[in-house]
Amino acid sequence: MDTIATIRQSRAAFPGETLRPSGQRGFVGRLVWVVSSLAKWIARLLERRRGRLALLEMTDDQLKDIGISRCDAHREGIRRFWE
């Protein structure tokens, strides 16, 4: 058995899905994976945006504590959420 086949055999299946010998998932399994990946990506984008908005709300003393100038905070805060 070659290395790639061994990796495919030992890979964990999705919850509730049995691992097929060829390592292939059914349509529903792939769809669940795509939707969950998309949801995680959107969650990361929103978290990044919330962090940037928090920078805009900080006082000068708070920004000084973390070592960021008001100009840098403003520049970061106005960036688009996908950047």
Hey, how many other C-beta atoms are within 10 angstroms of the C-beta on 12?
A: 7
Predicted confidence at residue 41, as pLDDT, reads 95
**Structural domain boundaries in the chain:** 3-77
Rounded to two decimals, what is the model's pTM? 0.58
CB 73 within 8 A of CB 58: yes
Residue 2 clears pLDDT 80, i.e. is over it? no
Tell me the per-residue pLDDT of 7-66, one tens digit each, with 9 for 90 and over. Answer: 555 554 555 555 554 455 789 999 999 999 999 999 999 999 999 999 999 999 999 999
> Residue 71 and residue 78: Cα distance in Å, rounded?
11
